[in-house]
Structure formats: structure tokens, C-alpha cells
Amino acid sequence: MTVLLMRNTPDPDRLVALAARRCYSARAAGEIEERLSLEEIERLLDFLRQRNHLSPFEHAEFTFSVDGVSRALSHQLVRHRMASYSQESQRYVNYLKVQQLPYVVPPSIADNAEAAAIYARALDVTLAAYRDMVNAGVKPEDARYVFPNAIETKLIFTFNARSLFNFFEQRCCIKAQWEIRNLAFDMLKSVRKVAPLIFKNAGAPCQFATAPYCRENDQECPLYKSMLKRTSENDQQNSGRS
């Protein structure tokens, strides 16, 4: 898997803070921006997240490129509907000349020699069936129906920051499938470099420093007990301050 942050809104932390301040000020935008110190930007972004006032985050956009992922992953990715996607088309890619289908191997299969051999044979059969059908006169766009979820694909996609909060909450979770979880962590690492204040508390909510919670309320999750412990400690600290 290769993940690249191709483009992003310039200075996204400042832009989101400016959009938030716009809601509460009659001053011209230029004057508002002049008054935005780094400390004020951080304070505003923290306030927005705490109060779930998330619409200002929609002004910041991030465009990614990803190669070497499976169709199984892409089917999950496009379920995040508040985003724009462009994907490699199997209709127009010629698989007749490739020696081997480009495919992703799950770790549970790669670590099992017997399973890995079965997996490779199945993919070889798939490619042979595709070739035989095309040579028999079937259109490539129809012959591709035999391809499995394992086949590699490439995408370019764009999220705004608000949509990324939701994506990271779901896909950085330990219960997310391994491949899309790896993608989510690579994406989070990329956006934190360009928008450290926006995304400083992004990720699986059970790992939040303050007010951690479980989206699924799954008591069987191995992280659930540690999350409850941190929640209790935070409550005790807050109670002591009051």
C-alpha cells in the first residue's frame, strides 16, 4: 500500500479558525485573520470539537492517492459518501498481457504456507478464465466479473476535515478490517503534518486523551476495559477540580 497526500487546502488550521470566527464577528475577513494568533487558532479549534460545532471544518479539504490496495478495501472506502472518488477502471485496464494478477494477500493467508498456495492457485485460475473468455470473444468488461476482491486497485479521493473525523473514528478502530485500518493510520499521519491542530485528537475515540468512548459500546473489545479506566480517572480529576 502506498498512500500519498497529493493536495490540501493551504493552512487548513487557520482557515477553519477563520471560518469559525466569521460566525461571531462583524469585522471584515482580513481584519479577523490578522487577529488570529496561533494560540487563538488552537483555542477555537478545541472549542469547536468540544461543542461538536463541526461545519467550519468542511472548508478544509484533503486529496489522497492510494495504490496497491484491494477491491475489498475500496468497497469499504466508498461507503464514506461525503467524499469524491476516482478509481482505476477494470473496463479499460488490459489484463491479457500480465503474467500474474496484481493482488493483495491478507496477513492471515501470507503467514500460512498451505493457505498461501491455495490462494495463489485460485488467482491463477481466475486470470486463466479471464483470458480464455476474452479469447472466446467475451468483452473484457464482462470477463472481469470473474475477478476476486483480492485484485489490486488504485484511487484518488478527496475528503473534507469533518468527513475525515468520522472516517478516522470508524477505521482507526481496532475492530476495523486490517487493510482499511492501515490506510486510515497512513492518512491520519499525513494530515497531521499539514493540519496538526485540526487532527490532534482524531482517531479511534477510545484512544482520546479526554472523554474517551467506544462507538460500538463493545464490551468484548480488548481495549474496552482500559478505556473505562481512563474515563473513570478523567471523571475523578474533573470532580477534584470542581
pLDDT tens, residue by residue, 50-108: 899 999 999 999 999 999 999 999 999 999 999 999 999 998 888 888 888 999 999 99
Are 74 and 164 found together in one domain? yes
Q: Is 91 a catalytic residue?
A: no
Please, what's the largest Cα pairwise distance for the chain? Answer: 78
Q: So what's the pLDDT on residue 211?
A: 76
Q: So what's the pLDDT on residue 77?
A: 98
Q: Which three cell numbers stand for residue 79?
A: 461507503
Q: What interhelical angle do 178-194 and 161-171 show, nearest 10?
A: 140
Are 7 and 70 found together in one domain? yes
Following DSSP, what letter does each residue of 142-171 receive, concatenated?
Answer: HHGGG--TTBEEEEEEEEEHHHHHHHHHHH
Q: So what's the pLDDT on residue 222?
A: 86
What would the mean pLDDT of 192-219 be, rounded to a whole number?
88
Are 141 and 194 found together in one domain? no
Are 121 and 177 found together in one domain? no
Q: So what's the pLDDT on residue 241?
A: 62
Q: Which residue has the cell 476474452?
A: 134
Total domain count, the chain: 3
Residues spanned by the domain of 58: 2-84+153-203
Are 101 and 145 found together in one domain? yes
Q: So what's the pLDDT on residue 25?
A: 74
Q: So what's the pLDDT on residue 219?
A: 86
- Burial of 173-182, coded b for 16+ CB within 10 Å and e otherwise, reads bebbeebbbb
CA distance 132 to 153: 22
Which one is catalytic: 171, 192, 215, 241?
171
**Consecutive H or E run containing 126:** helix 113-135
pLDDT band per the 50, 70, 90 thresholds, residue 240: low
pLDDT at residue 212 is higher than 80: yes
pLDDT at residue 15 is higher than 60: yes
pLDDT band per the 50, 70, 90 thresholds, residue 239: low
Q: Tell me the percentage of the chain whose pLDDT exceeds 90.
A: 72
Are 22 and 126 found together in one domain? no
Average pLDDT over the chain, rounded to an integer: 92
Q: Which three cell numbers stand for residue 232?
A: 473513570
pLDDT at residue 191 is higher than 80: yes
pLDDT at residue 233 is higher than 80: no
CA distance 184 to 171: 6
Query: Is 110 a domain residue?
Result: yes
Q: What is the dihedral of CA 11, 12, 14, 18, to 10 degrees?
A: 130
